Amino acid sequence: MRVRAYLESKKNLAGSACGVAGLGLSLAGVAGSYWPVVVAGLYGAGALIAPPDVPVKPDPPDLSEELGVLREDFARLREYLDEVELPPAAGGKLSELLELYGALLDPGWVADVLAGDAESVHVLSRAIRQDLPDCVDAYNRARWWNRLTPGTESPERHLERQLSVLYDEAERLTAALRDADTRRQQTHTTYLEDRGRS
């Protein structure tokens, strides 16, 4: 594979062209008995001065497709959470968080705005695929251990704090998307006003 890539490279093509020129000089009698050295030297010089082949940059992932997969993962997460027994305070915060995630992922113009921001998609993806399931799983495990060693810090308290942090993160993400839309509207207003003046 590497040999084929080199044979098709700019360096090999430039070197071959110079080598053919050297062969032409040898046939014209300019190089004499040193013709192999001249052909090889011109090939090497051509290969050295040719620009290197630049690998083609991979296309960025299609964030709309990523959101489709994330919706499926979110549906599976909701099924998992429906089977988990949570304390009332944490359950209320979890419901608010899931409602916010659902609104962001709901197909439509909000999801289109979200798909335009790779960092926001990453934050939401990490929260749904990793952070939230880890919070609930850690709570379930810690609750069992807490029964064996009472007096340690309450797993319920940790879960509430974790859910609050995730909710704050989701609110910041929503505010950033809203601000981006607001800036877009302001920019369009400025453009129309400037166009009207000219």
Q: What are the distances in angstroms from CA 3 to CA 8, 11, 119, 151?
A: 9, 13, 39, 68
- Residue found under tokens 């859910």: 163
Q: Rounded distance, CA 148 to CA 139, Å?
A: 15
The three-point CA angle 163-164-169 to 5° equals 95
User: CB-based contacts of 39: which residues, under 8 Å, 6+ apart?
Assistant: 19, 22, 23, 26, 31
What is the token pair recorded at 33?
């008995």
24-77 tens-digit pLDDT: 878 887 777 888 888 888 888 888 888 877 777 877 777 888 888 999 999 999
160-169 tens-digit pLDDT: 999 999 999 9
Q: What percent of the chain has pLDDT over 90?
A: 32
Average pLDDT over residues 163-184: 91
Query: What is the value of pTM for the model shown?
Result: 0.67
